[in-house]
Amino acid sequence: MTNPKIETPFASDPFDYKLSQDPDGTRHGINPRNSLTILPDGETRLFQRRAIKGVGGENVTFDSCLVGELNGVRVYVKDNSIVLTTQDLML
């Protein structure tokens, strides 16, 4: 029996963040519920950390969070939870 193919669902997630950058370097992560803005006060990064969980088994799940970084300090935003740290956290 062939397993049904499951596409990564991030593209169809209405709360997935849209990332953008202004000409002055200000970065934005915006979804319908909230936004994260990083002012260009130093070295900045903004990305989404994605995870495909359960690979090799029958119950794969997908996870994602928004990550902003300013001068090595990171903020991880997932739903209503925010973590501020210098650590490289996995999902």
Partner 1 sequence: MVATVIVNEKNGAGETATDKTSGVVRYKNADDANVDANDPMVVPGAGSDFSFDKWLRLNISVAPDTQIENLKAYTDGANGFGTGVLAWYKTIGTFSTPSAPANATGYTDIFTKTSGSPIDMDAINTGPFSSTGDIGDYLITMLEVASTATQGALTGETLTFSYDES
By CB under 8 A, tell whether 5 contacts partner 1: yes
CA–CA–CA angle 72, 78, 80 (5° rounding): 115
By CB under 8 A, tell whether 83 contacts partner 1: no
By CB under 8 A, tell whether 47 contacts partner 1: yes
Binding mask 18-37 for partner 1 (x = CB under 8 A): -x------------------
DSSP state of 87: S
Name residues contacting partner 1, limited to 54-73 (CB under 8 A).
54-58, 60, 67
DSSP state of 90: -
Which of these ranges, 30-38, 53-61, 72-80, lies near partner 1 under the rule CB under 8 A?
Answer: 53-61
Question: Within its chain, how far is the Cα of 80 from the centroid?
Answer: 13
Distances in whole angstroms, Cα of residue 30 to Cα of each of 1, 16, 52, 61: 41, 8, 22, 23
Q: Which residues bind partner 1 (CB under 8 A)?
A: 3-8, 10-11, 16, 19, 45-58, 60, 67, 89-91
